[in-house]
Amino acid sequence: MRQELAVYLVAGTQDVAKGNLVGFLEKALQAGITCFQFREKGVGSLTDRVQIIEMAWKCQLLCGRYRVPFFVNDDIELALILGADGIHVGQDDRQIQEVIALCGAKMKVGLSVSTVEEAVVASRMEGIDYLGAGPIFATRSKSDAKAPSGVVLLKQMRDLGITLPVVAIGGITIENVDRVLQAGADGVAVISALTRATELKGDIKKFKGRCV
């Protein structure tokens, strides 16, 4: 699980130029991302259910070709329809107990935490495979993002003995990734650092060199 979280790309059509998610994802897979989360949310995202399923399916096929885990953000029904490798949910989405009951036996389950208290509660639950901690730094990728915690959240989680794999998210770049890893993250989840990269292959290689 920790190796899968190393360079964790999160993206939907709204995040990439001209909505060409499939083309972008293939380049990212070729460059070496270790996990992909399909997150179709926000301004510019697909709204037609059939189109969302088709897009997710195409991304899943690509991930399978490159043997990279395919996760779905929040959408339990979509994850179950596709037989995804994992589902990731936030604190304000479906109740985590319900997610575990529906998906836990079929796929891996990730939960977002933004406070130490949330992390402690999650660490005591059975059925959660990893935590997504953040936002660590300010981010423009999520309009509903909470206030950044800084790397202190990661340090506090580890100081309290939380041993679940942790992927950090929120404003993570090549310039600050070392601080994040040193604070206790097992990997980094990135959106804009890669979807807006001018040198995608080189940047993924740099992330991977630090995280793996």
Enzyme catalytic residues = 39, 112, 142
CA dihedral angle for residue 162, residue 141, residue 88, residue 206, rounded to 10 degrees: -60
DSSP single-letter state for residue 203: H
Which one-letter amino acid corresponds to residue 210? R
- State the CB neighbour count (10 A cutoff) for residue 122: 20
Yes or no: say if 70 and 63 are a contact pair by the CB < 8 Å rule.
Answer: yes
Sequence-distant contacts of 109-117: CB under 8 A, at least 24 apart: 110/71, 110/86, 110/167, 112/88, 112/169, 114/146, 114/149, 114/153, 115/149, 115/153, 116/153, 116/156, 116/157, 116/160
Task: Please list, in sequence order, all residues whose beta carbon lies within 8 angstroms of the beta carbon of residue 48, skipping any fewer than 6 positions away.
Answer: none
Yes or no: say if 29 and 63 are a contact pair by the CB < 8 Å rule.
Answer: yes
Question: Distance of alpha carbon 119 from its chain centroid, rounded?
Answer: 16
Element containing residue 160 per DSSP (H, E):
none
